[in-house]
Structure 1
Amino acid sequence: MTLHQLPIANKEKVIIVGAGIGGLAASLRLSHMGYNVKVFETAQTGGGKLRTITGQTGEIDIGPTVLTLLPVFQNLFKSVGEDIFEHVELVRQKIIARHWWPDGETLDLYDDFETSRDAILNFSGSDSAKEFEKYFYDTRDLFSCFDIPVMRNPNPSMLDMNRAVLNNPKILFKMHPLRTLSSLLNYKFRDSRLQQLFGRYSTYVGGSPLESPALLSLIWQAEARGVWSIKGGMKKLARVLEKLANDRGASFHYSTEVKELNIKYDRLVSVKDNLNISHEADKFIFNGDPRALALGKLGQEVKKVAPNEADCERSLSAYVWGFDAKVSGPDLVHHNVFFSDVKNSEFYDIKKGKMPVDPSIYICAQDRGKNAPYPTTERFEIILNAPPVSRRKSTPEDYEKCKEITFKRLEMFGLNFQLNLKRENLTTPQDFEELFPASDGSLYGRSPHSLLATLKRPKCVTSLQNLFLVGGGVHPGAGVPMATLCAQLAVEEMTKDQTSILTFPQMATHGGTLTESTR
C-alpha cells in the first residue's frame, strides 16, 4: 500500500472554507489520510495572513516574519511522511531581536539562555541578570505546565487548568493570577526598559500588557526556544503545504468566496459559493474568523456555532508597512524593536481608540540574518500596534498621519529610508477588516485580556457534529504555530472514530538545509 492508497472508508468528502495556514495544514493532513479534500478561498492565493506585496526587488513579506515552535511544523511534515528540511530552507536566528531605546542603549536577546543573561548583565547589571534568570525559569515552567493539558488539548476546561496546577502546586506562585503582565514585570524587574521589553510579548497574541494576565509571560518562551526565518519568505511555507496537499489529491479553488453554509437536521450539508453553486460534502472545516459565523455572515443558521464571538472584546490590530528601500543608520538585524519614549504609552492611546503618537515600532529587515551579504536595496516590514475598527474608524488622513509618525520616529533613532511610498504600501485596520471579513480588523481573534481568555475562545469542535473550526481565532490561539497546531487538533477530532491502516515510515534525520544566522 502506498501513501496515497488508503481504505475506501476514508474516502469521505471534506470541504475546507479558507486557505490560511490552518486550512492548508488541515488539507495536507486529510488528503494524506485519503479524504477527498476541496479548499475554497476568496483570495487569489493561499496563506491567509502570510501575505506579500511586490516591490522592485520581488516579494516582500507583510505578515508573520519568522517561525517559532519549530517542532509543531516538524510534526506536521512527519505526519505525512515528509521532512520539513527537504522542502524549506530554515535559517536559525541566533539574535532573537535587537532592541533600541531613545537614550541610545541597545540590547540583543539570543536563542540561548546564557548568552541572553550575559547580554542583560552588560546592559543593566548583575541584579537585572539575576532577575532575568528567575524570569526565564519561571516562564519555562509555566509553558511546560500548560502546554499539553491546555494548548494541545482540543477542548480545555477550568478543570484541566486546575489539574495542571494541582499536579504542580508551586506553579500557582509563578502564575500570579491576580496580576496583569505589566504589574508582574514591575515586580520582577527593576529596570523599566526590561519591563517594557518583556511586556511587548503580550502583543504577540493581540493584548496590552496593561490588561493581559500575568500568565501570558509564558509567550516569551516561544521565542526563547528558537526563531527561524525561511529563505524565500514565509509565503513559501504556504506554497509548500499547498503543493504537498495537491500532490495527495486535494483541490484548491481560489477567487471563490463561500457565501453560505447550509444546515439540515443539525448537520452541515453544503456550502454555496459566489456563483450560487452548491458544493456538498460529508465534513467541513471553517478556516476564518469565527466572528463571521456569530454575526450571520455565512447564514443565520450557523450563528449558534460561535455565539459568544459576536460581542466579545477584540484583540489588537496594526498598521503594517511593506516596501523596499535603501537605508542608512543603526545596524539592523532580522528582528528589531524601537521603543517608545514613555513605557506603554501606545497602549493608553489604543485603549482610548487613538492612533498611537508615541509608538514602539517593529522592523523586520528581511534580507538580514541570511548568512549572506544583503543587497543595497532591502525589503522591510514595519508594524505599529493599533486599535481594532470597533474602537477607531479609519480616516482618509490615516496614511499621511501614520507615515509621519512612523518615519519621523525612526529618524530620531538615526534610521533613514530612501522612500517612494504609495497607499498600497500600508495596510490599515480597515484594510484588515476587508481582507478578513468580520474580523473587526483584529489580527488575533478575541482579546486575551482575562486569565480565562483561552478557555473562552471557540474550539475546533462545534455544536454541529460535522463542522470543525481552525485558525488563529480558534483555540489554542493566534500565530502561525498555534494555527498549525489548531489544524492538528481539528483533524484528530474529525478522524478519531475512523479506522485507518496507514502507517508512517521511519523519518530520517536531515541537516543539510538547516543553517544558522550569525547576526
Structure 2
Amino acid sequence: MHVAIIGSGIGGLAAAVRLASRGADVTLLEAAKAPGGKLSETEVEGRAVDVGPTVLTLRDVFEEIFREAGERLDDHLDLRPSQTIARHAFSDGSWLDLFTDQARSEAAIAAFSGARSAREFRDFCARSRDVCETLSSIFMRAERPAGPLGLVARAGPAGLPAIMRIGAQTTLWKALTAQFSDPRLRQLFGRYATYNGSSPFLAPATLMLIAHVEQAGVWLVEGGMHRLARVLSDLAERKGTRIRYGAAVASIENANGRASGVTLASGERIEVDTVLANCDVAALAGGCFGEAARRAVDPPLAPAERSLSALTVALQAEVRGATLFRHNVFFSANYAREFDQILIERRLPDDPTVYVCAEDRDDTGRLDLEDTYGRRERLFLIINAPADGDTRTFDKEEVERCVTAAFSRLAASGLQVARPDWEAMDVSTPSDFERRFPGTGGALYGRASHGSTASFQRPGARTKLPGLYLCGGSVHPGAGLPMAALSGKLAAEAILADRASTRPSRPGAMPGGMWTRFRQTARTRSR
C-alpha cells in the first residue's frame, strides 16, 4: 500500500510513523522547507524563536508514537517537567502563579483570594478531572462519535451519570461564574477556551478538562518546541517514510470514484493507493486541492464558525521589572468586551489579553542566556484576533496600534520591555496565516467549539471520497499538539482497517487499540 501524506504537521508525522511501522510505503509531501506545520520557528536577529504552539502536555501520546515504532522518546528528546503552569497578571495589579502540584496552587489561591476561593478551586479540580477521565477514552482517543447520542451509547449505562455531569449543555463562562466567587479566577480559567480558538462565553463547560490535562504534566522541550517536529520527522524517515520538502501539492486526483494520487505544483504526478491530507479541512472545502477533494468534505465554514486567529509578535528584548516565567498571561480589564470586539465587531482588541512565552526562562523565572546576547531574551507574544484574513487586510497602522496596546498591558503590570524597532520584530497577522494556510481566513484551530454540538461537527478521519483521509488540528479530536497527534493515529488506524477489510482474504482480527484511557504521567508534570 502506497500512501501519500500532504503536510508534515504533527498529525501527518504521527500517521507516517504508524503507517510506515506497519509496512506501508509512505511518501510525505511538505510545501515548506522544514517539518512541523504550525509547529514552526523563525529567525529574529540571528536567533531561532518558536512561533507556534508553546505548551506540551499529554506526554504519553508522544511516548506511544515512539514505542510503537520500537524506540523511546527519551532517547531523542530532552523533556523537563515544569512545576509551574503559568504566571498570571490581572488588570488590578495582582499576580497569581499556578502549579502542577494542586496543593501548591491551592495555597497560592488562598493567599491570592482567600480560603473560600481555595475550596472552590479544589472542587473545580475534581470536576475537571471527572470531565477529562469521562471523555478521554470515549471521545478524545477514539473515533469521532456520531453525535451526542453516539457518545452516550459509547459510554454505556454505567457511564451515563458521568456524561450528564460534564457540562456540555452550559457554557464554560456560566460554569465558572457558578464555580468561582472571585471574577479574576473566572477570567483565568475561562482562557482555556482559547486553547482551541474559542470564546469562553460560547464554548461548552467541557473545556474545563484542560485544567486537569495541565495539572497532569507540562513539559519544557530542550532546544525549543520545534525539536518535537524534527525528532518525529527523523523517526518517520528511520521507519522508511520518504519526506520531500518544497513539494507543494496542487491537486488530489481520483479515478473510478477513489483517490488515486496527487499532482504537485511542479506538474509531477504521484500515483498512490491512499491520500492522507494533513492540512486544514478548509483548504479542501475551498477547492485548494481540486474538485474531487472539495466534494469529499463539507462546505467551507462561515466566518462566524471559524476558530480564533492570532496576532503574534516574536522579538528579542531586554526586560525589567516583574519577573517572567516560561509561560505568562496578562489579562485585559474587560474580558467580555475583548471578545465582543474580536467576534462581533471583527477587529483587533484595543485592550488585549497577552500571552507571553519567555523562551529563555525556565519554570522558576531563571534566565539562561549566553553572554553574547547580554540581557536580551527571546519573547513570543500571542493576541487573539478574528479569522478574517481572507476578506480584509490587517494594515500596519491597525496592527501597530494593537501591538502598542499589548506592550501597554505588560507595562501596567510592572513589566518593562525595551521594544525594538518594528523591523526587528517578526509580526504575523490573520492575513499572514491565511497566506500560509489558505482557505482558513487565518483560523488556527479549524471550527470553533461554540455550542454543545460543535465538537461533533469536526470531520473524522474518513471523507466522502474513498481513499482520501484527514488528520490535523481541524479534524477530530481537535486542536493542540496531543490532539493533532491523536488525529494522526486515528487516521492511520482507519487506513489500515479499511485496507484490511478490502483484502480478498479478510484477516480474523482488525487493528485496534484506540480506546486508551487518560492517564497521568508519573507524578512529574506538564503544561
TM-score using structure 2 length = 0.90
Give the drift of 1:360.
1.0
2:334 aligned with 1:334, yes or no?
no
Pick which of 263-272 and 156-165 moved more. Answer: 156-165
Paired residue secondary structure (1:249): coil
User: 2-side partners of 1:189 and 1:370: how far apart?
Assistant: 26
Indicate if the aligned counterparts of 1:309 and 1:446 stay in contact, CA closer than 8 A. Answer: no
Match of 1:7? none
Match of 2:180? 189
Match of 1:75? 64
Give the one of 25, 31, 34 matched to 1:42: 31
Identity among equivalent pairs (%): 38
Indicate if the aligned counterparts of 1:91 and 1:370 stay in contact, CA closer than 8 A. Answer: no
Match of 1:355? 348
Matches within 5 A, 1:49-128: 49-56=38-45, 58-128=47-117
Matches within 5 A, 1:130-141: 130-141=119-130
2:374 aligned with 1:374, yes or no?
no
2:354 aligned with 1:365, yes or no?
no
User: 2-side partners of 1:187 and 1:172: how far apart?
Assistant: 19
Structure 2 residue runs of 5 or longer lacking an equivalent are: 370-374, 501-506, 512-521
Match of 1:509? none
Q: Taking structure 1 as reference, are residues 388 and 301 closer, same or farther at Cα in structure 2, changes over 3 Å only?
A: same
Matches within 5 A, 1:402-441: 402-422=402-422, 425-441=426-442
Match of 1:262? 253
Match of 1:475? 476
Match of 1:325? 317
Give the drift of 1:393.
4.0
Residue type of the partner of 1:460? A
Paired residue secondary structure (1:344): helix
Q: Taking structure 1 as reference, are residues 110 and 259 closer, same or farther at Cα in structure 2, changes over 3 Å only?
A: same
Indicate if the aligned counterparts of 1:320 and 1:426 stay in contact, CA closer than 8 A. Answer: yes
User: 2-side partners of 1:378 and 1:271: how far apart?
Assistant: 43
User: 2-side partners of 1:325 and 1:77: how far apart?
Assistant: 37
Match of 2:518? none
Q: Taking structure 1 as reference, are residues 82 and 370 closer, same or farther at Cα in structure 2, changes over 3 Å only?
A: farther
Tell me the alpha carbon deviations over residues 2-42 of structure 1, each in whole angstroms, 9 at most, x when there is no partner: xxxxxxxxxx2111011111111111222222222111111
Q: Taking structure 1 as reference, are residues 84 and 515 closer, same or farther at Cα in structure 2, changes over 3 Å only?
A: farther
User: 1-side partners of 2:396 and 2:79: how far apart?
Assistant: 40
Give the drift of 1:405.
1.4
User: 1-side partners of 2:473 and 2:386: how far apart?
Assistant: 18
Indicate if the aligned counterparts of 1:39 and 1:253 stay in contact, CA closer than 8 A. Answer: yes
Paired residue secondary structure (1:167): helix
Pick which of 143-152 and 54-63 moved more. Answer: 54-63
Residue type of the partner of 1:348? D
User: 2-side partners of 1:271 and 1:391: how far apart?
Assistant: 29
Tell me the alpha carbon deviations over residues 345-378 of structure 1, each in whole angstroms, 9 at most, x when there is no partner: 2111112201111111100111111786522221
2:220 aligned with 1:219, yes or no?
no
Q: Taking structure 1 as reference, are residues 409 and 195 closer, same or farther at Cα in structure 2, changes over 3 Å only?
A: same
Residue type of the partner of 2:25? N
User: 1-side partners of 2:112 and 2:357: how far apart?
Assistant: 23
Residue type of the partner of 2:410? L
Q: Taking structure 1 as reference, are residues 229 and 391 closer, same or farther at Cα in structure 2, changes over 3 Å only?
A: farther
User: 2-side partners of 1:178 and 1:18: how far apart?
Assistant: 35
Match of 2:223? 232
Q: Taking structure 1 as reference, are residues 177 and 230 closer, same or farther at Cα in structure 2, changes over 3 Å only?
A: closer
Match of 1:159? 149
User: 2-side partners of 1:69 and 1:518: how far apart?
Assistant: 8
User: 1-side partners of 2:89 and 2:396: how far apart?
Assistant: 31
Residue type of the partner of 1:89? D
Q: Taking structure 1 as reference, are residues 112 and 289 closer, same or farther at Cα in structure 2, changes over 3 Å only?
A: same
Indicate if the aligned counterparts of 2:353 and 2:406 stay in contact, CA closer than 8 A. Answer: no
Indicate if the aligned counterparts of 2:341 and 2:347 stay in contact, CA closer than 8 A. Answer: yes
Pick which of 413-422 and 32-41 moved more. Answer: 413-422
**Count of equivalent residues:** 497
Pick which of 128-137 and 413-422 moved more. Answer: 413-422
Match of 1:129? 118
TM-score using structure 1 length = 0.91
User: 2-side partners of 1:87 and 1:304: how far apart?
Assistant: 41
Residue type of the partner of 1:364? C
Match of 2:11? 22
Tell me the alpha carbon deviations over residues 278-303 of structure 1, each in whole angstroms, 9 at most, x when there is no partner: 11111111000111111211111222
2:287 aligned with 1:288, yes or no?
no
Residue type of the partner of 2:151? M
Give the drift of 1:57.
5.5
User: 1-side partners of 2:315 and 2:451: how far apart?
Assistant: 36
Match of 1:384? 383
Give the drift of 1:170.
3.4
Indicate if the aligned counterparts of 1:57 and 1:324 stay in contact, CA closer than 8 A. Answer: no
RMSD: 2.3
Indicate if the aligned counterparts of 1:337 and 1:360 stay in contact, CA closer than 8 A. Answer: yes
User: 2-side partners of 1:249 and 1:301: how far apart?
Assistant: 29
Tell me the alpha carbon deviations over residues 469-512 of structure 1, each in whole angstroms, 9 at most, x when there is no partner: 010000000111100010011111111254799x9xxxxxxxxx
Tell me the alpha carbon deviations over residues 368-422 of structure 1, each in whole angstroms, 9 at most, x when there is no partner: 1178652222111110001101686422323322321121221222212223243
User: 2-side partners of 1:300 and 1:65: how far apart?
Assistant: 36
User: 2-side partners of 1:517 and 1:75: how far apart?
Assistant: 17
Pick which of 165-174 and 235-244 moved more. Answer: 165-174
Match of 2:461? 460
User: 1-side partners of 2:523 and 2:105: how far apart?
Assistant: 21
User: 1-side partners of 2:526 and 2:471: how far apart?
Assistant: 36
2:400 aligned with 1:400, yes or no?
yes
Q: Taking structure 1 as reference, are residues 73 and 517 closer, same or farther at Cα in structure 2, changes over 3 Å only?
A: closer
